[in-house]
Each structure stands twice: as C-alpha cells, then as structure tokens.
Amino acid sequence: MDKTGMLAGKVAVVTGAGRGIGREIALAMAAQGAAVVVNDLGVALDGQGADAAPAQQTVDEIRARGGRAVANFHSVAEWESAQAIVASAIENFGRIDVVVNNAGILRDAIFHKMEPAEWDAVIKVHLYGSFHVSRAAATHFRQQNSGAFVHMVSTSGLIGSIGQANYAAAKLGIAGLSRLIAMDMSRYNVRSNCIAPSAFSRMIESVPGASPEEKEAALEKRRQQTRADQIAPLAVFLASDAADGITGQIFGARGNEMYLYSQPRPIRTLHRGDGWTPEALAAQLPGAWKSSMTPLERGRNVFPWEAI
C-alpha cells in the first residue's frame, strides 16, 4: 500500500471486482493507498451461479502487495444487501469515501424476442444496483461532507448496439442517475461521474454483431489494445481529490485514448408564430433537421479506428 498515493487514507467499495475491469480498478485503488471492499458474487455473465473465489482472489492479490482489502459477496440488486456492502466498509475500515458501481450481467436478445425476465434481471443489477449502493453510501457521504461516485456506463446506451435493449436502457439510465446525484449532492462536496469503458472483457466479448470468424481473428489484437487495466487509472483519478470540481460528466477510455462525451442539449430549433400542425411539421421539419439527426450507429461506426 502506498501511504502517499492519490487515494491514501480513503476507503473504496468496488462492485463486480472479482474479474475484469472491476478487478483492475480494485487493484489500482489499493496500489494508490485505498482500503478496498471487493464486492463480487462470482456469477456467470447471465447472472447465474455464485462463486466466492474471484472476489477472494482479488483480495489476496491486494494483500500480497501490502494493501488492505476485504471480500464481500452481497448482491447489488437488492436494497438490504446493498446496505450490507457499504456497512462492510464501515465495519472493516471505519468509513467510506468512494463507490465504483461496476457490477453487471448480460441477457442479450433481439428486442422482439426479449422476455420480461431478461429485461428485469439486467435492469435490477445495473440500474437498481447502482442506485442501491449509491444510496447506501450517500448518507455517509453527506455526514462527512465528501465522497466520490464512479459509475460504469456503456457505448451500448450512449451510442447504440444490437440485441441489448435491456443493457442499453440500464446504462443510459445510470448516466442520468449519476447526473442527478452530482446535482443533488454537490452541496455536500460529493462528486459523481461515469466511465464508458472499451476494454476486452467477458461482457464486451459477448456483444452480438460479429461472426465467430471475425471474433476469432480480432481476439488477441483486441485483448492487447483494449485492456481492463487501461480503464483503472481514470477511475482512480475520478475517485481522488485531484478530480475536485469534476462532476456530472461522462468519460470514455479505449486503449490509451480518453474521451469526454457530450450530453444531450438542443442542437436545432424551429419556430412558427401561429403554432404547428402535423401538416406543417411534415412540410418543414424533415428538410430542416434531417442532416442534423443522429444516425443509427453502433460503437464501431463511431470509433472506426483501431485503439492504440
């Protein structure tokens, strides 16, 4: 543990920290001096099963490097268990300063075949989970007049994807949640930001739209160019006091590239003194606005270049 690191003296909860991006964030935060609650159920991508090993392995690695960490196996999807996640930080380390909402599952299906259970499961873990853990921490943040939230969102929601309506809706919902947390809690010196990561992980590998041959050909290259450990520095920075004054924003990390995303604002206006009719809109709106409308693109259309 680095007693002079950017997170020295702070306590962080990182959900979904047994593998992938969450694991790398937990390791990086511990390396910068934070005590870390490593939360992970150890479930499969679809949320099935449970395995304590991934969270414990992350904890063991942090401790082997001289850091402080405890494992936690509660679900973010339920209010009471989320309270227990935050309570673990208080009980083991005496406070909580950082929440990283990273836990997630996938239940991909093309929209006309998506079942209510597939919708509910993903919304509960991602959107409800981010609310539950954030709300549990918010009381402590308010009392101590400080705190930082880092939420994981996705280009699936910010830009678009195929077969992920549940995931995209949850992730875009988290962006709105983060924005309102930032506004509601700014008076208590609490910051809330989002990261849209592009890293090769179990979740990203499963995104539909590429053939098995395309996936196989790009596999090793993508692993090397978009690694989970390349996301962690941004999370550490946003959790640290060095990010003071930065709140309500959406950042992206892709390989060695960092992005600041725009957020919805009006870009064109039309005014008609005597008001609008459907016929008047049909006559004027398409020609005036069509060139400014956002096309139906996927992330790979918006980021056509290789990550470097």
Write the CB contacts of 37 (distance below 8 Å, at least 6 apart in sequence): 11, 12, 13, 14, 69, 70, 72, 85, 88, 89, 92, 93
29's tokens: 């935060």
| φ, ψ of residue 23 in degrees (nearest 5) | -60, -45
Instruction: Please report where in the chains the tokens 């960092």 appear, as a residue.
Output: 258
Tokens of residue 172, six digits: 């875009």
Residues 6+ apart with CB under 8 A from 115: 109
CA–CA separation, 249 vs 151, rounded Å?
10
Q: Please tell me which residue in 128, 167, 259, 261 is annotated as part of the active site.
A: 167
**Has 259 been annotated as catalytic?**
no
Core vs surface per residue 92-102: b (16+ CB within 10 A) or e: ebeebbbbbbb
List residues with catalytic annotation.
167
